[in-house]
Amino acid sequence: MKILYLETSSKNCSVAISDNEKLLCLCEEVSENYKQSESLHTFVEWALEGAGISMKEIEAVSLGKGPGSYTGLRIGAASAKGFCYGLKVPLVAVNSLESMIEPFLGTHYDFIVPLIDARRMEVYTAVYDGRTGEELSETIAKILDETSFEEFKNKKVLFVGDGATKAKDILNLPQADFKEDVYPSAQYLIKKSLERIEKKEFEDMAYFEPFYLKDFHGVKKKS
């Protein structure tokens, strides 16, 4: 089964194609300017070319549903729905935080905590078992302070994501490690997507919305 994966929730615009669990091609770029609107469809074309298949061979689309950039999520969701409607294939959606922890599972950490930078001292976060990937606390928007995550004081915990930068400065966790250059990536949607496809946990495209977590707050233009 050939699947197209889109992950646009962060500064990393990421597209992958797999044949079941085998990754065929990955195209992604981290940009401070959030280039999803100009890069996403180009990356899809490149990924198809790299995988050596045509769009009509795609049998499902998987989307990193957020949380993350409001605009990035809207672009990804609109594109995913468009591909699904055009190809008449199902849509599955995976929490973007889950793709951030995937490469670190099974290491020596008791817990893995993804941190997506939101605004000021706020992050989007959840807590996962470092060995199994089981979600231990649900995804929330959290304002960081000196007492945040103090329950992990004597635990081996890994914080990953661009939100780890500000966490590193204020958290007093001597056994914690911080890996800041981690973003949601389409290649790490494969495992969870296949599980959802096998269980037929498809999204209702008429009602599907990304996992925004918070309402959008735009900047008002001065009159």
* Mean pLDDT, residues 12-21 taken together: 97
Global pTM reads 0.93
Contacts of 8 (CB under 8 A, 6+ apart): 14, 36, 40, 64, 69, 72, 73, 75, 76, 79
Q: Are 20 and 1 in contact (CB under 8 A)?
A: yes
pLDDT of 76 reads: 97
| pLDDT at residue 53 tops 80 | yes
Residue 178 three-state SS: strand
| pLDDT at residue 5 tops 50 | yes
Cis previous bond, 114, omega within 30: no
pLDDT of 10 reads: 93
pLDDT tens by residue, 173-192: 989 999 999 999 999 999 99
DSSP string over 64-91: E--SS-HHHHHHHHHHHHHHHHHHT--E
